[in-house]
Amino acid sequence: MNAIATLTPADLKAQFPGLAGGWHYLDTAATAQKPQAVIDATVRAMGADYATVHRGVYARSADMTLAFEAAREKVADLIGAPAQELVFTRGATEAINLVAHSYPNKGRVLLSTLEHHSNIVPWQLAGWQVDVCPLTADGQIDLDAAEAMLTREHTMVAFAHVSNVLGSVLDARRAADLAHAVGAKLLLDGCQAVPRLGIDVAALGCDFYAFSAHKLYGPTGIGALWGRSELLAAMPPWQGGGAMIDRVTFAGTTYAPPPQRFEAGTPAIIEAIGFGAAADYVRAIGLDAIHAHETALVAELRTALRARNDVTLFGPEESAGIVSFALDGVHPHDLGTILDEEGVAIRAGHHCAQPLMEHLGVPATARASFGLYSDQADIAALLRGIERTRRIFG
């Protein structure tokens, strides 16, 4: 099934209750709207199907446990991974924190200038020595520079697979090869990649992959960390409590194997079911179709903005679903406010990427980001709003 090809934009938007009323939502990189299929799955899980998991001996608990673990399998399959290597976390932020704190061979970590704060601060808090890879002129992570910077002191490389500001797509296979050449591991922040690219962690060659559900048309409050089984097995628990144990005594505790070792406490049962439903939804539409659809919209918007003499575009031409720009003489917050009056939602600010803003020489950018439900009408509304803003500010 290729819903983007077979359904009209109106048909597709109708599957998302949050888009009712003609709202032009161009902030999917921040969080995606939810299709009715995901909403229905979470409502059933919270209502008629609800029970705890992993603990109950009664039938509904057993059924919910099966559904919970089936969701793990669906999410893992979406990135080409075995279910036993996928840890449910509270989000990509917690997934990165888990690795930063629990990975036993702490040393130097190579990040890049374009990283989200969630892929900077955890390494600092956990005591890693941070080095920063520069960018190319068009906003890509400079892997030639990375190759020159990497040493045997580096035990981790942590890069965004797709930039949340520039939409630039990392050559992940080469990044993995460079990391492995010096004995380091590669962690990829896949928040912006999983909703729009077909991901196969084996083909990418990475060692850890972190992503969230809410950018994948699923619920907030849950994400996932994939890690190679031998790496997860060598990592101690990060948090303690129920469910992650083998045996507890006051003299000492032994721990469950991964992934349960890293899932202390009652899990996000409802959210996991929604996560699995979201994985089903995008798989049914097809990641290749989603990527092609968003790529066409990016090209159309960049072409329209480039035709203006008062807009600065950031990032590469071939960006994945994201267009960041600045309107001369207008702060992005002012632009965002006027666009809201026109029924258009964009993100305006530093996008949790303050080092990148410093690199770009701006305090903030305006960011339009597409989803599988976006269409030409959204672009047209954005362009009308920009023109109105220009008239107001002169």
Residues 80, 206: contact at Cβ < 8 Å? Answer: no
DSSP reduced 3-state for 15: coil
Catalytic residue among 133, 191, 206, 352: 352
Say how far apart CA 29 and CA 116 lie, in whole Å. 12
Which of 77, 101, 42, 56 lies closest to 271, judged by CA?
A: 42
Contacting residues for 363 by C-beta, under 8 A, at least 6 apart: 331, 350, 357
φ and ψ of 24, to 5 deg: -100, 95
Report the DSSP beta bridge partners of residue 311: 327
| Contact (Cβ atoms closer than 8 angstroms) between residue 263 and residue 208 | no
User: What is the sign of the dihedral through the CA atoms of 16, 19, 22 and 25?
Assistant: negative
d(Cα 328, Cα 330) in Å, to the nearest integer? Answer: 6
User: In angstroms, what is the C-alpha Rg of the chain?
Assistant: 22
| Extended beta strands in 134-190, E state | 154-160, 185-189
133 catalytic residue (yes or no): no
> Going along 277-321, which residue ranges are E strands?
311-314
Cα–Cα distance, 41 to 170 (Å, whole number): 34
Pairing of strands 24-25, 344-345: parallel
Largest CA distance in the chain: 73
Strand ranges in the chain using DSSP code E only, listed in sequence order: 24-25, 86-89, 108-112, 129-133, 154-160, 185-189, 208-212, 223-227, 245-249, 252-255, 311-314, 322-327, 344-345, 347-349, 365-369
Q: Which two tokens stand for residue 329?
A: 């003489």
Angle between helical axes of 332-341 and 376-393 (0-180°, round to 10) = 120
In the chain, the amino acid numbered 119 is N
| CB distance 160 to 139 below 8 Å | no
**What amino acid positions are annotated as catalytic residues?**
352
